[in-house]
Amino acid sequence: MTKQAVLKLKLSPSTRLALLAVAVILACTLFLTWNVKASWAFTLEFRGQKLISMVLVGIFIAIATLLFQTISQNKILTPSIMGFDALYMLIQSVLIVVIGASCYSILNEYTKWAIEITIMTSMMLLLSKFLFRGSAQSIQLLILSGVVLGICLSSINGLVFRMMDPSQSVVAQDAFFASFSSPSIALVQLSYLLLAATLVYLFRYHHQLDVLLLGEQTAHSLGINYARLTQHLLILIAILVGMSTALVGPITFLGLLVVHLAYQLAGSYKHKILLPFAALLGVLVLVLGEFILQHLVSFNTRLSIVIECVGGLVFLALVIKQAKS
């Protein structure tokens, strides 16, 4: 028996979750205290703001992706395939063209957040109303429609982007890439409220999420209202993705990366383990990634670009693996 096999036998899912939580705490402490050159008060405040945004975004994207894969019963899909990222970028482009780059830069965060969340949630509600008929087959139709809609929105966004003047295009390009610096206090407060409500909901229904993995027929036979639960989860996914993109911008492949790792490392398919495990992995990837880029390699680029590259490679590997199997 190999050392790896022995390790798997010894570590229970709860032990693995506890070790991951310790690793996240150590990573956050390292990020806050490494190589402090300015005053501690200024450094902790500046880095703490970035840390808060990374923690929230890591949790939101991981939970949204895991729930989406549970609904679709497909481990290579992310909510971004439904066109959320394309819709977010189109919203920014339209706002910049309509109100101007200067007004966009000073736009009230609550107003901007309300616009984004309302449009994203409305899109999901409309798609589910017209395409979701309460069955697993209609979920596939919903996903395919989301793919087509995302392509259309990307094309429209490209057209709007070409209509911008140079100053507007610079502001738009900055909004298209995720940035963890200077999160809005207003959005952080809303994020905490959303996180608390999400955790309460998931704690209440995590057993039903386990049943969803077994398929629609099994869910019906065990007395679960499959259609209602799926619709509620779709709305929750839209809100979580909308909040994370409102905080820092779109990150397409982060969820795919951390959820795939969670399936491999958690040692359990129960959502009471998978959900916190994936959320902690999301935080760990963001915090360690930002720490390595800033303090170890001094690489002057955004972490989201690196994550998109690595996550894209993971996505291709999963597609090839699934095709071979």
- Give how far Cα 304 sits from Cα of 54, 127, 177, Å: 11, 29, 7
Per-residue pLDDT tens digits for 246-297: 777 777 778 888 998 899 888 888 999 999 999 999 999 888 888 887 777 7
CATH number of 45-324: 1.10.3470.10
Query: CA distances (Å), 245 to each of 19, 87, 267, 282, in order?
Result: 29, 11, 30, 15
Give yes or no for a contact between 254 and 34, defined as CB atoms under 8 angstroms apart. no
**Is the confidence at residue 138, as pLDDT, over 80?**
no
Asked if residues 51 and 213 have their Cβ atoms less than 8 Å apart, the reply is: no
Between 308 and 280, where is the model more confident?
A: 280
Predicted TM-score (pTM) of this structure: 0.85
Which own/partner contact pairs does 259-263 have at CB distance under 8 Å and 24+ positions apart? 259/62, 259/65, 259/66, 259/69, 259/75, 260/75, 260/314, 260/318, 262/62, 262/66, 263/75
Q: Which two tokens stand for residue 259?
A: 């959820």
Read off the tokens for 33.
């205290």
| CA separation, residue 91 to residues 81, 142, 175 (Å) | 17, 22, 10
Tokens of 211: 């049943």
Distance CA(80)–CA(252), nearest Å, equals 6
158 versus 42: which is more confidently predicted? 158
What is the per-residue pLDDT for 319?
Answer: 67
Sign of the Cα torsion 150, 116, 316, 60 reads: negative
CA dist., res. 83 & res. 80, Å (int):
5
pLDDT value at residue 6: 43
Give me the helices (H) in the chain, please: 3-10, 13-33, 40-72, 84-99, 101-105, 109-131, 136-162, 166-176, 185-212, 216-221, 226-248, 254-265, 271-291, 303-324
Q: How far is CA 152 from the centre of its chain?
A: 22
- Which two structure tokens, joined as six digits, stand for 320? 């090839």
Asked if the model's pLDDT at residue 140 lies above 60, the reply is yes
Average pLDDT value over all residues in the chain: 82
